[in-house]
Amino acid sequence: MIKVGIDSISYYVPSLYVDIEELATARDIPSEKLVKGLGLKKMATPDYDEDSASIAANSLYRLIKENNIDPRKVGRVYLGTESGVDASKPTSSYVVEILEDIFAEEFGKRCFKNCDIVDLTFACAGAVDALQNCCDWVRNGKNRQAIVIASDIAKYELNSTGEYTQGAGSVSMLICENPSIISFNGSWGVSTKGIGDFFKPRRLFKKSNILMEAARLLGKEVSS
């Protein structure tokens, strides 16, 4: 049986962060609880020009460059995220578009044009579903290559019990035959139940209302 799994991994974490010990002091929480109990040291936060798409693009770029991957040979780019930037097309389409522009000179225009791109959203399990799906796809072909990306920006209310667990980052993985890191035998265990978990409602709002509210909070006057 052909072995299929993860051959290489690259990641990207925003350079901005909050020191967990400083956060613990500000929130009057024993730092040992967060540092030693949960193993937290820093809480990454995206810069003003970063989102789940750009973060994913950074980790994918590193994966390709560090492992000399030819994008034209990649058949799938599947992204697991619950921080999508578009309610219509997949965030992975933005990721691929960014990389096509960057690699146009090296690999030609639209080097991902024959690549299937999909987002999978299921709280923390989206990228796991993407991994299982891509492993099965590679296993059912010959010399196939797929890339799985996990990219998210986790946010919680200030002073909430989840505040210190939030962060941002992305991981990209090359899935292929005879992997150098780990292989999977293709036997997946599945169990599903609809229960109350995190809830992220889609909201409709005007940008002008956001700007006006931001100005009000900053004590600034803005003409409508």
Write the CATH number for 161.
3.40.47.10
Considering only CA atoms, which of 82, 93, 86 is closest in space to residue 121? 82
Q: Is residue 126 part of a domain?
A: yes
Tokens (6 digits) for 178: 């005879």
The SS3 assignment for 180 reads: coil
Q: Is residue 77 part of a domain?
A: yes
Local confidence band at 24 (pLDDT 50, 70, 90 cut-offs) = very high
Q: Is residue 16 part of a domain?
A: no
What is the distance between the alpha carbons of residues 115 and 96, in angstroms, rounded to a whole number? 9
Q: Is residue 39 part of a domain?
A: no
Q: Is residue 98 part of a domain?
A: yes
For CA atoms 42, 47, 53, 54, the dihedral sign is negative
Q: Is residue 24 part of a domain?
A: no
- Counting the structural domains of the chain, the total is 1
Q: Is residue 179 part of a domain?
A: yes
Q: Is residue 70 part of a domain?
A: yes
Local confidence band at 186 (pLDDT 50, 70, 90 cut-offs) = confident
Q: Is residue 196 scored above 90 in pLDDT?
A: no
Q: What per-residue confidence (pLDDT) applies to 224?
A: 66
Q: Is residue 156 scored above 90 in pLDDT?
A: no
The SS3 assignment for 149 reads: strand
The domain containing residue 154 runs over which residues? 4-11+50-188+196-218
Q: For residues 11, 17, 21 and 23, what is the CA-based torsion angle, rounded to 10 degrees?
A: -130
